[in-house]
């Protein structure tokens, strides 16, 4: 077993984050050095800590306790402590000690940074698609969007509403687009508070009278009781926080903003 | 090999997006008439290439990975483009891709799996310094596929 060592440095990608690199065997004897190292971090207000465990051979239960104590103090200061680079055997041992119920494990530092920025900076992330204009693709697009928003912490109800909006807009884009172009576009942007969806189809020289009719229908989507169709836009309007239509010479774009409800 | 449909996806350099994206490409191949086995293997290829792109790509805000899928009658051509890497990295990748029984350059497990599942793989770099990996997977590319299809 290699000798215990603890080193820390500021993350190269984000100065708010400290990376602590542990190595060797963290046994009873090493716990003091571990605790002192983390004490100095907490005192210097380095509150978000990634502990890199890739070169750790062994962790004793007092060492896990010390890490838990440090995490608790960091959380009191609005920070956190997460673990990266666990080998399968170390992960298994930590799980047996119940550490998986306390710490979040990550595969690499990059994913931690991404999650940290998502939580703290509230910057939007963007997904863009160019898809064949075929109705068969719509369920797959719906599932893609729903899966992304749930992965990012939106609940099932929000995800269902967002996928319903995407479903209706995509079906409309396919139905009313220029079929010879064989493609349409979706731009999807999400942050912790809202999603923005833009669905664009390609059209050719829309008749001004038809453009006017589309705009009117868009402003006031009326559901005709006698018809089995035409409910899509009304449904989208009901589920959206904001809805906007742009018609230009090349195509039609529907913009939707949906604020997170949970 | 006549061209049928094409699909393009652009998403952040963030591992959270990979499961949804790989599933979407796999579903798309089913829609285009490929078998469930072909679709599953396509999903593995996308997963490996995207994980590499996230692992070696930059973690700067706004950086993105671009996937392009060209569906043809008997094959799918996948292109994965990420903003990471430099000329040296691309040269190393070429060595890795060109490795075989006679040329034992180190191949990571991911790329080795991709090489096993495809019939062609090439790497290049755009003028903006983006790394591009292009693979072609044919319906029946080798004996194992033909026997088990």
Alpha-carbon torsion A84, A85, A90, A91, what sign? Answer: positive
Helix%, strand%, coil% for chain A, nearest 5: 40, 30, 30
A29-38, A46-55, A225-234, B42-51: segment of lowest average pLDDT: A225-234
Cα B118 to Cα B42: distance, rounded to the nearest angstrom: 9
Query: In whole angstroms, what is the distance from residue B50 CA to residue B25 CA?
Result: 12
What does the buried/exposed string (b/e) look like for A81-114 if buried means 16 or more CB atoms within 10 Å of the residue's CB? bbbbbbeeebeebbeebebeeebeebebbbbbbb
Q: In this predicted structure, what is the pLDDT of residue A176? A: 85
Report the b/e string of A189-222 with b at 16+ CB within 10 A. Answer: ebeeeebbbbbbbbbeebeeeeeeebeeebeebe
User: How far is the C-alpha of A89 from the C-alpha of A58, rounded, in Å?
Assistant: 10
Return the pLDDT at A132. 95
**Which of B12, B19, B54 minimises the CB distance to A147?**
B19
CB-CB neighbors (< 8 A) of A131 in chain B: 7
- pLDDT at residue B149, rounded to an integer: 52
User: What distance in Å separates residue A250's CA from the closest CA in chain B?
Assistant: 20
Q: In what order do the strands lie in the sheet with A17-26?
A: A5-10, A17-26, A48-59, A80-84, A105-106
Query: Global pTM?
Result: 0.83
- What is the full DSSP assignment across B51-83? HHHHHHS---TT-EEEEEEEEESSEEEEEEEES
Q: What's the rounded mean pLDDT across residues A192-202?
A: 95
| Chain A residues touching residue B11 (CB < 8 angstroms) | 126-128
Closest residue of chain A to B31, computed from CA coordinates? A136
Residue A196 has pLDDT above 90, yes or no: yes
Collapsing DSSP states into helix, strand and coil, what is residue A64? helix
Model confidence pLDDT, tens digit, residues B28-84: 999 999 999 999 999 999 999 999 888 888 877 788 999 999 999 889 999 999 987
Give the closest of A111, A132, A183 to B15, CB-based: A111
Contact B20 A107 (CB under 8 A): no
Q: By CA distance, what is A117's nearest residue in B?
A: B61
Q: Does B49 touch chain A (CB under 8 A)?
A: no
Of A123, A130, A144, Cβ closest to residue B61 = A123
């Amino acid at each position: 077993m290699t000798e215990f060592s603890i080193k820390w440095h500021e993350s190269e990608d984000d100065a708010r984050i400290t990376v602590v690199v542990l190595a060797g065997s963290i046994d009873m004897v090493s716990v003091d050095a571990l605790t002192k190292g983390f004490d100095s971090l907490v005192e210097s207000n380095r509150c978000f800590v990634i502990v890199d465990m890739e070169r750790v051979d062994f962790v004793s239960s007092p060492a896990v306790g010390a890490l838990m104590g440090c995490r608790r103090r960091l959380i009191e200061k609005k920070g956190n402590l997460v673990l990266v680079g666990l080998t399968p055997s170390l992960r298994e041992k930590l799980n047996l000690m119940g550490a998986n119920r306390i710490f979040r494990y990550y595969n690499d530092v990059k994913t931690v940074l991404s999650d940290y920025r998502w939580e703290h900076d509230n910057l939007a992330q963007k997904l863009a698609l160019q898809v064949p204009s075929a109705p068969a693709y719509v369920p797959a697009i719906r599932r893609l969007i729903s899966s992304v928003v749930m992965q990012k912490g939106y609940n099932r109800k929000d995800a269902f509403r967002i996928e319903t909006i995407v479903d209706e807009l995509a079906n409309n884009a396919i139905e009313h687009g220029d079929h010879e172009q064989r493609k349409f576009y979706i731009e999807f942007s999400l942050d912790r508070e809202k999603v923005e969806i833009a669905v664009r189809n390609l059209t050719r020289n829309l008749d001004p009278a038809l453009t006017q009719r589309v705009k009117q229908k868009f402003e006031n989507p009326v559901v005709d009781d006698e018809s089995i169709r035409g409910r899509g836009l009304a449904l989208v309007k009901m589920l959206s926080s904001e809805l906007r239509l742009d018609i230009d010479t090349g195509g039609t774009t529907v913009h939707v903003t949906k604020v997170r409800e949970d | 090999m006549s061209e049928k449909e094409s699909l393009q996806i652009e998403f952040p350099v963030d591992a959270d997006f990979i499961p949804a994206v790989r599933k979407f490409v796999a579903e798309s191949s089913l829609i285009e008439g490929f078998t469930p086995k072909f679709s599953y293997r396509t999903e593995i290829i996308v997963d490996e290439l995207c994980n590499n792109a996230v692992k070696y790509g930059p973690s700067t805000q706004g950086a993105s990975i671009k996937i392009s899928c060209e569906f043809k009658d008997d094959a799918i051509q996948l292109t994965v483009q990420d903003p990471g890497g430099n000329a040296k990295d691309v040269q190393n990748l070429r060595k890795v891709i060109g490795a075989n029984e006679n040329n034992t350059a180190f191949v990571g497990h991911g790329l080795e799996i991709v090489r096993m599942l495809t019939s062609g793989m090439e790497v290049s770099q755009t003028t903006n310094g983006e790394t591009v990996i292009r693979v072609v997977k044919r319906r029946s590319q080798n004996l194992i596929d033909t026997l088990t299809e």
